[in-house]
């Protein structure tokens, strides 16, 4: 395997319609930095494939017979939290997508999206960036920002380093990895490492939840600091 192959984003495509699934595979295969790790026709098979191939990103349909996309997302994120899930959907109905992100999905892409939008969404998710529109992101942040009882298994924010706390505060503003890198004068790769550490230490599934956590716990920057 060459160095170029090692850098490729490995994607598992999950959809119960074979024609659509093969079309997505064809689109992604034409991107030089994406490699197809496998395909699955339902959620159960998707979980099994993830165990074998351990992809970077799962492109997951929501409505499938048997185990659907939401249940499969929960199972994958519980067992393999580092695997990113990007929901494939025919509609942007907020409630279903809200539940998907709560389950651990990094966002969604519409089935009517252009090939370029699908490829860009996969790339963003692989970098640890959410693909969630502003209105849905605010609904999720509002939900997770509600006062919650103490979680006995959650590591306190004291476990974060000073740099990780800086990154957490910037996540609360909706900053991308590039924004954070520029603000803190560090590389995007370093930002990705910090975000991964933050999610692990706080037992969170994605950066939208991390932003909500920062707001709820009072670590979001004030307006004059932004």
Residues in the chain: 226
According to DSSP, the β-strands at 9-14 and 34-40 are parallel
| Beta bridge pairs of residue 107 | 86, 131
- How far is the C-alpha of 162 from the C-alpha of 164, rounded, in Å? 5
**Given this model, what pLDDT does residue 222 score?**
57
Query: In terms of domains, do 154 and 186 share one?
Result: yes
**Given this model, what pLDDT does residue 145 score?**
53
- How far is the C-alpha of 173 from the C-alpha of 155, rounded, in Å? 22
Mean local confidence (pLDDT), 52-75: 91
Query: In terms of domains, do 32 and 69 share one?
Result: yes
Query: In terms of domains, do 100 and 148 share one?
Result: no
Query: In terms of domains, do 57 and 150 share one?
Result: no
Q: Domain total for the chain?
A: 2
Question: Does the pLDDT value for residue 101 go beyond 50?
Answer: yes
Question: Does the pLDDT value for residue 155 go beyond 60?
Answer: no
98: CATH: 3.40.50.2300
Higher pLDDT, 67 or 11: 11
Higher pLDDT, 37 or 207: 37
pTM: 0.68
**Given this model, what pLDDT does residue 17 score?**
93
201: CATH: 1.10.10.10
Note whether 102 and 128 are within 8 A (CB).
no
- The separation between CA 1 and the C-alpha centre of its own chain, rounded to angstroms, equals 27
Degrees, nearest 5: CA angle 112-64-51: 105
Q: Tell me the residue range of the domain where 157 lies.
A: 143-216
């Amino acid at each position: 395997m060459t160095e170029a192959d090692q850098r490729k984003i490995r994607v598992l495509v999950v959809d119960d319609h074979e024609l659509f699934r093969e079309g997505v595979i064809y689109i992604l295969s034409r991107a030089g930095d994406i490699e197809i790790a496998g395909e699955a026709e339902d959620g159960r098979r998707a979980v099994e494939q993830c165990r074998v191939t351990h992809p970077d990103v799962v492109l997951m349909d929501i409505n499938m017979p048997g185990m659907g996309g939401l249940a499969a997302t929960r199972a994958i994120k519980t067992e393999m939290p580092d695997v990113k899930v990007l929901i494939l959907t025919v509609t942007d109905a907020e409630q279903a997508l809200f539940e998907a992100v709560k389950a651990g999905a990094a966002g969604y892409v519409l089935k009517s999206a252009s090939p370029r939008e699908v490829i860009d969404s996969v790339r963003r998710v692989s970098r640890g960036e959410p693909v969630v529109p502003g209105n849905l992101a605010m609904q999720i942040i509002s939900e997770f920002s509600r006062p919650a009882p103490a979680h006995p298994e959650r590591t306190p924010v004291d476990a974060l380093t000073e740099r990780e706390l800086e990154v957490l505060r910037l996540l609360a503003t909706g900053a991308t990895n590039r924004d954070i890198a520029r603000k803190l004068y560090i590389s995007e790769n370093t930002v990705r490492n910090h975000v991964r550490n933050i999610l692990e230490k706080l037992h969170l599934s994605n950066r939208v939840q991390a932003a909500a956590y920062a707001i709820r716990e009072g670590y979001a920057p004030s307006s004059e600091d932004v």
